Amino acid sequence: MAEGKFVVTPWEVRGEVNYDKLVKEFGTEKISEALLKRIQRHTGELHFMLRRKIFFSHRDLNWILDQYEKDNKFFLYTGRGPSGNTTLGHMVPWIFTKWLQEKFDVELYFQITDDEKFLLKPELSLKQTQNFANENILDIIAVGFDPKKTHIFTDTQYAKTLYSTAIKVAKHVTFSTAKAVFGFKNESNIGISFFPAIQAVPCFLPSILKEKNIPCLIPAAIDQDPYWRISRDVAPKLGFYKPAQIHSKFIPGLGPGAKMSASDPKAAIFTTDSPEVVRKKIMNAFTGQQPTAELQRKHGGNPEICSVCQYYYFLFEENDKKVEKIFEEERSGKILAGEHKEDLADKAVKFIEEHQKKRERAKDQIDKFMLKD
């Protein structure tokens, strides 16, 4: 891959992502300061993920707020592809979604695409993606969504409801469009070429269930945008509003590189890791620091590529001043990696221990959340 090249599709994120370029290529809009102020008028404060532009791009967010201000409340739709256990990286957009739910007091539909991951990953059986779905659901519930307002479903268990809308969507999407948007090849299995119709359905489902049009806002990483382009194309043809989006950047892992990937177990912290494993992974994390303490003190490091700094930034430190201090200490070489790692490990272990307690309690809550046929 040539320098400066990067690839972002729903199924692959590679290279150094240039988010400005991506916004242009995808035709989305950056979240402006004016839009942030408008959000803040409703939420009172801005979540650190908005302040830091972790959620940085959108489609039709102004329209969503227009509607909200006219008492036409939206619902939230997000999802998870159960290809493995949940990592801390997955939790970042969920934590933000919970904040949106609380601040706007809205319903949330949460799709778990056990079908997608089965079709896409040659190495995974359907049983496996369904098992991961069950595990992931515990993490989702543990985030603290309101059980009265949150509806979680897996595609295979809710297929009867999803199917009739999926075929209505599918009838409006030609193979050549799907191919252009998703990069399907002649060798791709035919299941995956139909799947985008299934991921479109929840954009419209509440409108169908409640028999009135309800605006939809999707918080998700920007790699999911191709799905929403299809959904937005089809929406008016089926008589629905186009779904709006708020897009996040990718959450880096513990190794060098762009995204925390569940497929590299050493570079990701799983919500099921024991505190000892969490500590060990952090102590072995990539920091990009100079090879010796002496050189680090002299030249300093680069917080932008230091995974320890990035963890604080994306998840563990809500206070902007404190994050800036951590970055500055790294840049100036004042603090060495070891110390930063110890502090981060303490925070991460505390987070994991609390999360695991909530995860245990979630086991008795499942029925309150699930939609099934």
Report, in Å, the least distance between residue 120 CB and ligand TRP.
8
Report, in Å, the least distance between residue 150 CB and ligand TRP.
14
Report, in Å, the least distance between residue 207 CB and ligand TRP.
16
- Kindly state whether residue 78 participates in binding ligand TRP, applying the rule CB under 6 A: yes
- Kindly state whether residue 296 participates in binding ligand TRP, applying the rule CB under 6 A: no
Q: Quick one: tokens of 350?
A: 């505390």
Burial of 127: CB neighbours in 10 Å, binned 0-12, 13-18, 19+? exposed
Our CB check for ligand TRP shows the closer of 96 and 286 to be 96
CB 51 within 8 A of CB 320: yes
Q: Convert residues 151-190 into a mask of x (bound to ligand TRP by CB under 6 A) and - (unbound).
A: ----------------------------------------
- Kindly state whether residue 10 participates in binding ligand TRP, applying the rule CB under 6 A: yes
Per DSSP, what are the bridge partners of residue 108?
Answer: 76, 150
Our CB check for ligand TRP shows the closer of 170 and 326 to be 170
- What part of residues 115-154 is at the interface with ligand TRP (CB under 6 A)? 116
Report, in Å, the least distance between residue 208 CB and ligand TRP.
17
Q: Convert residues 219-238 into a mask of x (bound to ligand TRP by CB under 6 A) and - (unbound).
A: -x---x--------------
Q: Convert residues 327-356 into a mask of x (bound to ligand TRP by CB under 6 A) and - (unbound).
A: ------------------------------
- Kindly state whether residue 111 participates in binding ligand TRP, applying the rule CB under 6 A: yes
CB 243 within 8 A of CB 216: yes
DSSP line for 225-270: HHHHHHHHHHGGGGT-PPPEEEEE-PPP-SSSSSS--TTSGGGS-B
Residue 318 exposure: Cα atoms within 13 Å on the Cβ side: 7
Nearest to 252 by CA among 49, 88, 132, 53: 88
Q: Which residue has the tokens 């604080």?
A: 312
**CA–CA separation, 30 and 42 (whole Å):** 20
What 264-267 contacts at long range (C-beta under 8 Å, 24+ apart), as own/partner pairs, is none
Our CB check for ligand TRP shows the closer of 79 and 252 to be 79
Report, in Å, the least distance between residue 174 CB and ligand TRP.
21
Residue from 22, 81, 101, 222 binding ligand TRP (CB under 6 A): 81
Burial of 194: CB neighbours in 10 Å, binned 0-12, 13-18, 19+? middle
State the maximum Cα–Cα separation within the chain, in Å, rounded to a whole number: 67
Our CB check for ligand TRP shows the closer of 120 and 306 to be 120
Per DSSP, what are the bridge partners of residue 110?
Answer: 78, 152
**One-letter amino acid identity for 144?**
G
Our CB check for ligand TRP shows the closer of 57 and 113 to be 113
- Kindly state whether residue 289 participates in binding ligand TRP, applying the rule CB under 6 A: no
Our CB check for ligand TRP shows the closer of 181 and 345 to be 181
Report, in Å, the least distance between residue 190 CB and ligand TRP.
18
Our CB check for ligand TRP shows the closer of 199 and 356 to be 199
Report how far apart the first and last C-alpha atoms of the chain are (Å, whole number).
46
Please count the residues of the chain: 373
User: How many residues line the site for ligand TRP (CB under 6 A)?
Assistant: 13
- Residues that bind ligand TRP in the complex, under the rule CB under 6 A: 10, 77-81, 111, 113, 116, 199, 218, 220, 224
